[in-house]
Amino acid sequence: MEENKQLLEIASKAAKYAYAPYSDFKVGAALLTDDGLVFTGCNIENASYGLCNCAERTAVFKAVSEAKTNFKKIAVAVEDINKTVYPCGACLQVLAEFMYDGSVIISRNGVPEEIKVKDMLPYNFTLGEKNE
């Protein structure tokens, strides 16, 4: 799908802004809202590793801070779009909060692949019966 390819390209460009002096692993994300806006994010490291933030959560937090909470899909990429990266568990939990039925777009050998958040984290934490 052309939309997925475009989102991966935007995510790959966002990775260039990553602050990753410790790992040199630069990740970008492009989050598509239900109303067609795209919010980008990159990973941000810190000397105190527990204070780092992933690209996916950066994009989600930017969107939420702009009063957007309905998301359709998110693309995740490194600078070299041909490498495959997946969201970590913490990012999947945050994504499940806002887009349990939404999709994650990854690049597998340069080809966009779409995976549902609920398939990646079927037993996410909820405060009740929200996702059942």
> Which band of pLDDT confidence, cut at 50, 70 and 90, is reported for residue 3?
very high
CA distances from 130 to 5, 91, 126 (A): 31, 18, 6
Tell how far CA 55 is from the center of its chain. 6
Active site residue 56: yes
Domains delineated in the chain: 2-120 (3.40.140.10)
- The mean pLDDT of 48-66, rounded to a whole number, is 97
Q: Directed axis angle between helix 2-15 and helix 55-65, to 10°?
A: 100
Percent of the chain with pLDDT strictly greater than 70: 97
Residue with more model confidence, 63 or 79 = 63
Instruction: Give the pLDDT of residue 82.
Output: 76
- Active-site residue identified among 56, 79, 113, 129: 56
Instruction: Give the pLDDT of residue 131.
Output: 61
Say whether pTM exceeds 0.85. yes
- The mean pLDDT of 3-12, rounded to a whole number, is 96
**Cα–Cα distance between 106 and 118 in angstroms, integer?**
15
For residues 39-50, b (16+ Cβ closer than 10 Å) or e, as one string? bbbbbbbeeeee
